[in-house]
């Protein structure tokens, strides 16, 4: 989630906070709340918090270039649903379905529960392609004052059985999970259940991943958007089913405040957050933003290799 943008070692392959030394990346790395990185041909694309939904691309995962925003003007429904919204979209995520790219995004304002997650689709991610065009499809879910959740920070996941799930939420009672229709990208039914899968006093920015027969839920604890004063850290739990319960390494349920530490502030990189997993030709990486002390706390993109312990817990390494 975006509020105010302010200016390794493998841990013996056990789960603990990995070292966040600077990745040798170049170009425009100014990113907050990066989406899952998708590869199209030989190019990589991501979306991130910004006016109109900000975009970045790379031909090699190292040098990144800023692209044009998804929207030149916010869809009318966004300002009607969230009256104080002015086009600064938070925390998008993207998934490929049915030969299209489904882009989910957050519509909200700082500290408010009047929020929505919207959806836009395009047949390609390549802005140079003649068929590149984003079509908006309105709200997927909404929250208002008194809702059991805050409808922001979508994280998309395709299960091996083809079902599509979205984790989402922030602060208000935690992280929730809902099944989506794999064709429309909306809820499978108007009354499809919302399942709470994690809670902490300060929680948001979920991510889902599957390895072998286990599902992994990553979440952020702490506060973002304060530069080097940010307290973000990433916690993780795992489950035998997509709907949970997700337990940490000590067997504590994430709904009851459990969560094994995965990433924390290290060196000049403060408050790592909003991670996603990239599977690139059989190699797994995690992406996230950090607040770089060498740049006066400016948020920057980071990538790390993802490795696994013998007992199935993740670690981020250089």
Q: Please list the active-site residues.
A: 33, 204
Paired strand residues for 65: 57
Residue 28's Cβ-count burial label (10 Å; 0-12, 13-18, 19+) is middle
| Strand pairing report for 298-308 and 260-263 | unpaired
Distance CA 226, CA 204 (A): 16
The label of the residue with tokens 């929207």 reads 71
CA-to-CA dists, residue 198 to 42, 109, 177, 236, 314, angstroms: 36, 23, 10, 10, 18
Instruction: Name the phi and psi angles at 76, rounded to 5.
Output: -55, -35
Instruction: Name the phi and psi angles at 12, rounded to 5.
Output: 55, 30
DSSP state of 229: G
Contact yes or no for 269/86 (Cβ under 8 A): no
Distance CA 285, CA 307 (A): 8
CA-to-CA dists, residue 120 to 8, 62, 193, angstroms: 38, 27, 23
Distance CA 269, CA 260 (A): 20
CA-to-CA dists, residue 295 to 49, 111, 272, angstroms: 19, 26, 15
Query: Which residue, 255, 249, 223, is CA-closest to 236?
Result: 249
Distance CA 289, CA 30 (A): 9
């Amino acid at each position: 989630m975006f509020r105010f943008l302010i200016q390794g070692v493998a841990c013996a392959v056990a789960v603990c906070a990995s070292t966040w030394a600077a990745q040798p990346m170049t170009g425009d790395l100014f990113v907050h709340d990066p989406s899952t990185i998708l590869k199209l041909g030989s190019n990589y694309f991501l979306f991130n918090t910004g006016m109109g939904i900000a975009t970045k691309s790379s031909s090699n995962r190292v040098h990144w270039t800023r692209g044009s925003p998804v929207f030149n003007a916010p869809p009318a429904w966004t300002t009607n649903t969230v009256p104080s919204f002015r086009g600064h979209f938070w925390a998008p995520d993207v998934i490929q379905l049915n030969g299209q790219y489904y882009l989910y995004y957050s519509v909200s304002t700082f500290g408010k529960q009047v929020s929505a997650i919207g959806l836009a689709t395009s047949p390609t991610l390549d802005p140079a392609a003649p068929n590149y065009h984003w079509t908006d499809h309105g709200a997927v879910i909404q929250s208002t004052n008194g809702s059991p959740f805050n409808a922001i920070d979508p994280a998309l996941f395709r299960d091996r059985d083809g079902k599509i799930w979205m984790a989402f939420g922030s602060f208000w009672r935690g992280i929730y999970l809902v099944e989506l229709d794999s064709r429309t990208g909306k809820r499978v039914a108007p009354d499809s259940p919302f399942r709470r899968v994690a809670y902490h006093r300060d929680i948001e920015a979920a991510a889902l991943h599957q390895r072998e027969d286990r599902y992994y839920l990553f979440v952020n604890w702490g506060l973002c958007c304060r530069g080097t004063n940010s307290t973000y850290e990433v916690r993780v739990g795992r489950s035998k089913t997509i709907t949970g319960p997700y337990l940490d390494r000590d067997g504590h349920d994430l709904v009851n405040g459990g969560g094994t530490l995965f990433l924390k502030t290290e060196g000049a990189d403060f408050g790592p957050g909003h991670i996603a997993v990239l599977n690139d030709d059989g190699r797994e990486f995690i992406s996230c933003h950090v607040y770089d002390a060498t740049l006066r706390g400016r948020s920057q993109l980071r990538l790390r290799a993802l490795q696994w312990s013998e007992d199935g817990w993740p670690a981020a390494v250089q």
